[in-house]
Amino acid sequence: MFAHSLGDGAELRLLEPWWAEEFLAHMDRGREFIGEHMELPDLATDLDSARGYLQGYAEKAASDTGRLYGIWLDGTLVGGVSFPRFDAAAGTCEVGCWLEPAATGRGLVGRATRAIIDWAINERGIHRVQWLASPKNTASTKVAERLGMTREGVLRETYLYRGVRHDAEVWSVLAREWQATGS
């Protein structure tokens, strides 16, 4: 089994379809909090939709176009990080993240995201890693900043979520910048 220690009783593991029950329980614990800035809780509302969401990422992994990892704290799934888009040929990818409320404030997302960016850049040769975040999601934008990403701008009213148009801040880091920091 793949597992990467994040320290302090936390680890990063592949989040695969056979984790659907635990994934749904995790979504239920954090549904309102996680759903404040992202659609993930709306996509996993019952066991079938949770399994379907995870299966979609399993198919992305098989085609090398995305990946999904869970963050476990003391044996309980509490969040995750992902590559919603991964294009090795173009040398670009996007990272994403989420946590349930009980797991916030521990640096888990930063450590998990650092691990997958290291893999993308150092193992897969990715040139540019992008992070999109709601400007209202200051926790997310602070993680991007702590990771050494550059805020490139705002895509105004770029996505429709729960009937409202939202902005997205674009953050990125280039391989040479990442490697220069010793990450």
Q: Would 2 be classed as within a structural domain? A: no
* pLDDT at residue 65 is higher than 60: yes
In a domain, 160, yes or no: yes
User: 103 lies in a domain?
Assistant: yes
Question: What pLDDT, on a 0 to 100 scale, did the predictor assign at position 2?
Answer: 78
The total of structural domains in the chain comes to 1
Is 153 within the bounds of a domain? yes
DSSP 31: H
For 39-65, what is the mean pLDDT?
97
Checking phi first, is residue 120 left (phi over 0); if not, alpha (psi -120 to 50) or beta? Answer: alpha
Q: Token pair 């003391």 is at which residue?
A: 74
| Amino acid found at 67 | R
Strands (DSSP E) contained in the chain are 4-7, 10-14, 67-73, 76-87, 92-99, 128-133, 150-161, 164-174
Decide if 1 is inside a domain: no
- List the CATH number of the domain containing 17: 3.40.630.30
- 19: pLDDT confidence band, cut at 50, 70 and 90? very high
pLDDT tens digits, residue range 137-167? 999 999 999 999 999 999 999 999 999 999 9
| Residue 136, pLDDT above cutoff 60 | yes
Residue 34's domain comprises 8-180
Q: Is residue 161 part of a domain?
A: yes
Tell me if 73 sits within 8 A of 83, measured CB to CB.
no
Per residue in 22-32, pLDDT tens? 999 999 999 99
